[in-house]
Amino acid sequence: MGPSGSGKSTLMNILGCLDTPTKGQYILNGTDVSKMEDDRLAEIRNKEIGFVFQTFNLLPRYTALENVTLPLIYAGVPRHEREDHAVKTLDLVGLGDRMTHKPNELSGGQRQRVAIARALINRPEILLADEPTGNLDPHNAMEIMGLLEKINRRGTTVIVVTHSHEIVDMMKKRVITIDRGMVIRD
């Protein structure tokens, strides 16, 4: 948590192996990822870390099912396994009945659920959510946060970046406040 420009997204990008720290170390599961090559970082991002963004980042020409299967294609999973797993994951997020719909045929909350399903498809240990409710109305925002809480209860570490006190009050597991690149409260 922290104000705009405080370093929340930068920290998220480092945790997600999208950026490397300029100094220090980042140890993930006993491995110093701050010194890894790009190919190995891409493998870690695909298998160990799921990403949910405020803007959904769905491909408009693809159905919900096709959007969710994309990470599995990159992981080399056979087609029949991809579709079966994607169907189960879409069911998990409550969209089993919307699999054939394209993003423009879905509400904002449904699009975010597709994005969450895509982030979960490779069963990551960590789910990073950068302002996952920023483009949603209050009702859909609470539904998405309830879904993230459910995912956390199932054993996935969920890290949410927000400046919303309502979201913080809902999650309440651990709140780290950042300002000007520094942790000011934990």
* Cβ count within 10 A of residue 159: 19
pLDDT at 62: 97
pLDDT at 59: 95
Residues 44-54 have pLDDT tens digits of: 988 899 999 87
Residues 16-54 have pLDDT tens digits of: 999 988 889 999 989 899 989 999 998 898 889 999 987
Give the position of tokens 């405020």. Answer: 54
pLDDT at 104: 96
> Mean pLDDT of residues grouped by 10 in the chain (186 residues)?
87 91 90 90 89 89 96 89 94 93 94 93 92 82 86 91 78 85 91
pLDDT at 142: 85
- CA distance to 1, 122, 135, per residue, from 48 (Å): 23, 8, 26
* Cβ count within 10 A of residue 20: 14
Q: What is the rounded CA–CA span in Å between residue 8 and residue 162?
A: 8
pLDDT at 136: 79
pLDDT at 51: 92
pLDDT at 53: 81
Q: What is the rounded CA–CA span in Å between residue 108 and residue 13?
A: 24
